Every structure is written in structure tokens, then in C-alpha cells.
Copies of this chain bind each other. A is one copy, B any other.
Amino acid sequence: PANNKNDSGPILYGYAQITGGQQWGTSTNGSPTGPNGWIVGANRIRLGVKGQAVPGVTYNIEAGWDNAALSGISGNPSTPKGNLLNNGLGNNGNASIINAWMNYAPVPFAQLKVGKFKLPVGNEYVSKAGNTLPFVFRSMAQSLLPGRSLGAMIHADDVMGTGASYAVGFADDTSLDPYNAYYSGNNAAYYTGGGQGGFLNGSGNYIAFARLGYDFMGPLLKAEVSGSRMSLGAVPSAGLSKTAVYTWNAGIHGGLMGVHYAASYTNMTSGRSFGVGGYSNKGMLATDWNVGLGVNLHQMTLTPSWLDIEPAVRFDSFSINDHNGYDVKIDNTTVGLNYFVNPNNPHAAEVQLNYIIPTARQGNFGAGTMGGVFGANDAPINGAAYNTLMLQFQAGF
């Protein structure tokens, strides 16, 4: 019931993704290849409650223990490195509230949503829940998006039956999801409050965001454009000029009779004061484009009725240039096969097999750690610098 917005009671929903992985060719800049073997983790574990508080007011509170099993134990070496198997959440392996919002709908075409939620910038990142993804990983574009923050927006779907949707709003001046460009830990800018420690007072800086969508041909072609801007304060590093981070995204997705696809282009630019630890640079430009295709053989009636399998393939290209000499590009080609145990409830029990090939790797990617978004030696979140096999089991309710 996680995706059914018509439920009215306090609905308990959730799912778990148990993921095994193995890599090959893990040589780093000419060093010997390290050992290989399977390792198992929990990609996503989610438990939430949602429902209608009173007519016109709905709520959703969702907890996530992302990769809890590997990094949730004190003393485990993986703890200080965060949560790298999955989508950048995790709170050091502890439970965190990843969504907590309420929605007021006095009229359907102008609804108010307040709380912590995914800011509506991006394509697959916004339109696909974590348990409905055709691939184990999202695209690398996630690191260029603002992710989740605390704020408010006015929004509506299918305004007046026209097929158009919109959202516009403001949020606090940081992402609450690590491993993206809007996260305060990854740049020199942060909201700076006065008064009582800043907790009851903001800096006057915000993330502004907007999104427009349109259904051109029902389910066959949905298109959306979205963008965001976050102010970069002059503090904490004196001497930095006050500029901003900008992201825009254009995407399409849709499907018919067992074939479904998604394609998206994302562009992130920043002004001079952007950088970690007061790093004074000339700003950055990072882009991602990706296109994915899935073919459900069961919906095409090419398999026996009890066998629901879906081959899928995605090409994802990420590049970044910081105007200071750091200019790299990584392409990931992912080949996948999805098996749905019960065709009538496909995401309730699902097995996904993915093989990721870094078909291009130019620059300094993959020289050791995976974590950061913009570090000189890293792959961005969701990116693989080596040939990687993943097998994921999912069960949900």
C-alpha cells in the first residue's frame, strides 16, 4: 500500500532490500587488484505510516534504516564511511526519518505540503519510489539534485484535468541527504542563524525549487522540467563570495504494453564560493544524462503466465569540471534482469540481477574511495568504478 494515496486509515507500509555485491578488476591506478568475493548488505529497509488525519489533510511518516545491517553496529569499520551501498541516506547506520510531511488540500489544484520530503527536482529520483526501481541503483544524477530538505511547497497533479502538474516552494538552505551538491557537509555554505544557536532562526538563505510536468499521451509520454537554486552564504569561510548552486533537469518517461523507458538530462552549476572546507575555486559544472529501457516479457505475453521476467538496460554518463583542472567523466552501462514472483503484485516480492560496466572512466575516478560527490578520486553516489555484479532480493507490503 506504500504507493496507494487513496488509503484513509493509518496504513503501515514498508519493504526490505537485501543486496549482494561483487566487483572485479579493482586495481587502483596500477596497483594490484584486490581480493574479490560476495558481500551482503541491506540496500533499503523502510517502515512508514501514512493516512488521512482529517478530510483534506494527509500525512506520511517514514523511517529508513539504509544499510543498517552493515554499518549499524558500533565498532564496525564501515560506520565512519557512511552508507555507500545505497542512495546516500543512512544516518551512520541508525534509523532516520527520511520523510515526514503533511499535505493540506483545501482545493485539489493548490495543495500545501510541509515537512521533510523529496524536493521535486529530478526525473526518476522524484517519480519512482525505492521499491519500484527497474535497477538496483538510481542514476548518478542523484548527486546533482537537492534531495530531501525541510520546507513547504504548493503543488498539484493533473490540474483541472489538463494533464499538467506543478510544484513550487522553498526549503532550508541545505539538503538533509548526504552525498549531493546541496548537502551542507559538501560545500562551504551553510545557513547561519543568529539568536539562540540558530535553531529558532534562519539565515535568510533558502533552496528555491519548481517543477512542471505534462502528460502528453497518457502513460506513453510524460515530460517534466524542474530546477532549484540554493544560496551560498559568505560564511563560515571568510573571503568567499556569496553565490549559489543551480540545478536544472529535463526528463521524459513512459511506457506501453510491457515496454517502459526513462531519459533525463541534469545540469548543476555553482559560483565561486562552492567547495569543501573553504576551498576557493572557480565554480563547477557537472552534468548527467541517462536513458533506460525495460521490456517486461510477461506483459508482452512472451513467457508462460507464471513467469514474470523483465530484461532492462541503462546507459548513464556523468561528468564534472571544476574549472580548476579537475575534469573527469564516468559512464556506467547497466544490464539487468528483474524477476517478479507474483505478476499481480510485482514489487511485493522481487529479485533483481544487475551487472554494471564502467564503459568509460576518464580522469581520476575510482582511485580508492567511493564516498564523496565531488572528490578528486571518487565516483559519485550510485556510480561504480569497477565491473560490479549485484543481486537484490526484495519483499514488501
A residues within 8 Å of B by Cβ?
9-10, 12-14, 16, 18, 20-23, 26, 33-42, 45, 47, 49, 51, 53-59, 61, 63, 65, 68-70, 72-78, 81-82, 84-85, 90-97, 100-102, 104, 114-116, 150-152, 170-172, 174, 176-178, 183-185, 190-206, 341-342, 345, 348-349, 366, 368-371, 379, 384-386, 388, 390, 393-397
Contact = CB atoms under 8 A, between A and B. Distances in A.
A218 B375 CA distance: 62
B72 A96 contact: yes
15 contacts: A35-B193, A39-B200, A42-B115, A53-B395, A54-B342, A55-B342, A69-B116, A84-B196, A84-B197, A91-B93, A104-B341, A114-B393, A115-B393, A196-B370, A196-B384
B349 A201 contact: no
Contact of A40 (B151, B183, B205): B151
A114 B198 CA distance: 38
A39 B198 contact: yes
A206 B91 contact: no
Contacts of A84: 196-197, 199-200
Contacts of A40: 114, 150-152, 171-172
A7 B61 CA distance: 23
B185 A76 contact: yes
Nearest to A351: B104
B196 A42 contact: no
A7 to B, nearest CB: 12
Contacts of A183: 75
A195 B367 CA distance: 8
**Copies of this protein, total:** 3
Contact of A49 (B14, B21, B366): B14
Contact of A77 (B51, B82, B170, B190): B190
A184 B34 contact: no
A225 B70 CA distance: 28
Tell me which of A51, A195, A197, A370 has the highest count of chain B C-beta atoms within 10 A of its own C-beta.
A195
A76 B74 CA distance: 16
A395 B92 CA distance: 28
B150 A42 contact: yes
A150 B69 contact: yes
A-B CB proximity, top 8 nearest: A34-B194, A37-B202, A37-B204, A39-B202, A196-B370, A26-B195, A26-B194, A54-B342
Contacts of A95: 63, 65, 94-96
Contacts of A101: 16, 18
Contacts of A97: 42, 45, 65, 68-69, 72
B150 A18 contact: yes
Contact of A42 (B91, B100, B341, B349): B100
Nearest to A345: B54
B23 A201 contact: yes
A388 to B, nearest CB: 5
Contacts of A172: 39-40, 70
